[in-house]
Amino acid sequence: MPQWIRACATDDIDEEDLIRFDHGSATYAIYHSPDGKFFATSGKCTHEDVHLCDGLVMGHLIECPKHNGQFDYRTGEAKRAPVCVNLKTFATKVDGDDVYIEVP
Amino acid sequence: MAKRDYSLLGPDGARAVETGLAAAEWYHTDVPRKVMKDLMTRSDAPAIRDTIILYGCMIAFAAGGIALWGTWWCVPFWLAYGVLYGSASDSRWHECSHGTAFRTPWMNNAVYEIASFMIMRNSATWRWSHARHHTDTYIVGRDPEIAIMRPPAFAKVILAFFGIPDVIAFIPRMIRNALSGPTAEEKTFVPQSEWGKVQRVAIIYTAIYAATIALALALHSILPLMVIGLPRLYGAWHHIMTGLLQHGGLADNVIDHRLNSRTVYMNPVSRFIYWNMNYHVEHHMFPMVPYHALPRLHETIKHDLPAPNRSIAEAFREMWPALKRQLAYEDFFLRRDLPPTAKPYREDFHKAALGEAIPAE
């Protein structure tokens, strides 16, 4: 049953950046886009077991810190080798000063 | 003493997977997020400037070599052209494979394809082999880019300065890739979705070399091959000289780049040809930092790294005797001391990874 979980405060993430958010045994990446919106994906690269939180956000792309593979974090689409498999994305909402994600 | 099996399909690779040495979490120096974001920032300007200089010089030197062909005056022009073709292409291939040289993706891809052709690496295959090199740097049986295996094959190392082993390996592989796609070993690190691309790239390369040879035969002159192909031999020495220093004589089967990679201060010309990859510990620890920001990254984290070698010559004086010792004792490696400001090596972890105590220098 999906549920909304508070992930962070809106000012915890600079614009054009991301943070890691762990919940239970799962790890997520929460993004603050340059246009002020928030997005969420699974927290690890689909290529290898690497946390994306140390990566670089450029516009709407997240680049993995290990091999420079890129995803569009709005859709999860793999955009640059060596990543081939899309990231999972999760719905987000802002309530007051808090960012929530919908987790399964 | 352990005998190493460098095959990607052999027992060492399988053991690395079983023990968790493959795809492990590596040591990173702590760098504040804001500082790292600044270092990772992409820019087109430095690489556009360097690319114009590189290709401009190549055109000028080739033109000089062609104009003076038949006289001894052409020799320095070809030597200079050869180094840019057969060595600078290595660093351009490398940086653009990471996608960090330029901010604009098509610029990275364009320079990557040209450099891959010049350095004689299938651009589709080697993108993946280099990803593996970063995942499993100098993990025996996992890393397909180990330049000096143990015991070192010195004859091969010397011949590499003239590009000979690389070219001998490349040509039959190119033809085989063109005829039937990637080999069984290549299939271990190239995803199936890319196998067709490996074959297409090999067909294009084969066609270009065939056309160049045909032109040389038609002209009864090796001049076309002096421009395309042969510079990979007569200009290879610089990228071998710098490339051997990256990991030569250092540890293998560890997960701390301070133990298996080497930073060397170099002269400005070599740094231009090598695109700052002399900051090699820094590059492996943070591969997202573009080449032009590596000197700043070095200043940021050098308190946590072994002291760099002061010059290419000094680094060779350190590495070469270590390689000679590895002839008799494969497990020998140079253990580089850390400054007092650094976080110590995790002896316990590396002992477990190696299956024995780390030999001290």
Mean pLDDT of B165-172: 96
Residue B204 in this model has a pLDDT that exceeds 60 = yes
**Angstrom distance (rounded) from CA A85 to CA A79:** 9
- The sign of the dihedral angle between the CA atoms of B148, B149, B152, B153 is negative
Bridge partners of A70, per DSSP, are A63, A80
- SS3 call for B196: helix
pLDDT tens readout for residues B260-311: 999 999 999 999 999 999 999 999 999 999 999 999 999 999 999 999 999 9
| Closest CA of chain B from A2, distance in Å | 31
Helix (H) or strand (E) holding B282: helix B280-285
The domain locations on chain A are 3-103
**Angstrom distance (rounded) from CA B48 to CA B51:** 5
Percent of chain B having pLDDT more than 70? Answer: 96
pLDDT tens readout for residues B56-65: 999 999 999 9
Of A48, A66, A84, nearest to B287 by CB-CB distance is A66
Residue B231's pLDDT is what?
98
Tell me the CB-side half-sphere exposure of residue A69, using CA atoms within 13 A: 30
Helix (H) or strand (E) holding A6: strand A3-9
A68 to B98: CB separation less than 8 angstroms, yes or no? yes
User: Does any CB of chain A come closer than 8 Å to the CB of residue B32?
Assistant: no
Cβ-based contacts of A65 with chain B (< 8 Å): 286-288
* Preceding omega of B144 cis (within 30 degrees of 0): no
Could you tell me the CATH superfamily of domain A3-103? Rieske [2Fe-2S] iron-sulphur domain (2.102.10.10)
CB A56 within 8 A of CB B277: no
Structure tokens at B16: 């690395």
**Confidence at B131, pLDDT banded by 50, 70, 90:** confident
Count Cβ–Cβ pairs < 8 Å, chain A vs chain B: 42
Cβ-based contacts of B134 with chain A (< 8 Å): 66-67
Of B33, B42, B134, nearest to A67 by CB-CB distance is B134
The interface predicted TM-score (ipTM) is: 0.82
Work out the burial of residue B326: count CB atoms within 10 Å of its CB; fewer than 13 is exposed, 13-18 middle, 19 or more buried: buried
Residue ranges in chain A assigned as alpha helix (H): none
Q: DSSP labels for B16-51? A: HHHHT-TTPPPP-----HHHHHHHH---SHHHHHHH
Candidates B17, B40, B103, B143, partner chain A, best to mutate (most A CBs within 10 A): B40
Query: Average pLDDT of chain B?
Result: 93
Q: Give, in order, the Cα–Cα distances in Å from B41 to each of B37, B106, B144, B343.
A: 6, 17, 29, 27
**Angstrom distance (rounded) from CA A8 to CA A11:** 8
Structure tokens at B266: 């170099």
- SS3 call for B92: helix
Pairing of strands A56-58, A89-90: unpaired
Q: From the CB of residue A103, how many other CB atoms can be counted at a distance below 10 Å?
A: 17
**Angstrom distance (rounded) from CA B195 to CA B192:** 5
B135 to A67: CB separation less than 8 angstroms, yes or no? yes
**Confidence at A85, pLDDT banded by 50, 70, 90:** very high
B37 to A82: CB separation less than 8 angstroms, yes or no? no
**Angstrom distance (rounded) from CA B9 to CA B11:** 7
Mean pLDDT of B105-128: 94
CB A30 within 8 A of CB A51: no
| Closest CA of chain B from A62, distance in Å | 12
**Angstrom distance (rounded) from CA B245 to CA B278:** 8
Instruction: Give chain A's contact residues with B (Cβ, < 8 Å).
Output: 17, 47-49, 54-56, 58, 63, 65-68, 70, 80-82, 84
**Angstrom distance (rounded) from CA A83 to CA A89:** 16
CB A91 within 8 A of CB A77: no
Residue B358 in this model has a pLDDT that exceeds 50 = no
A56 to B37: CB separation less than 8 angstroms, yes or no? yes
CB B78 within 8 A of CB B65: yes
| Closest CA of chain A from B229, distance in Å | 28
Between positions 91 and 130 of B, the ones with CB within 8 A of A are: 98-100, 103, 105, 127-128
Candidates A17, A67, A85, partner chain B, best to mutate (most B CBs within 10 A): A67
Residue type, B161: F
Chain B's closest residue to A16, CA to CA, is B37
Chain B's closest residue to A53, CA to CA, is B33
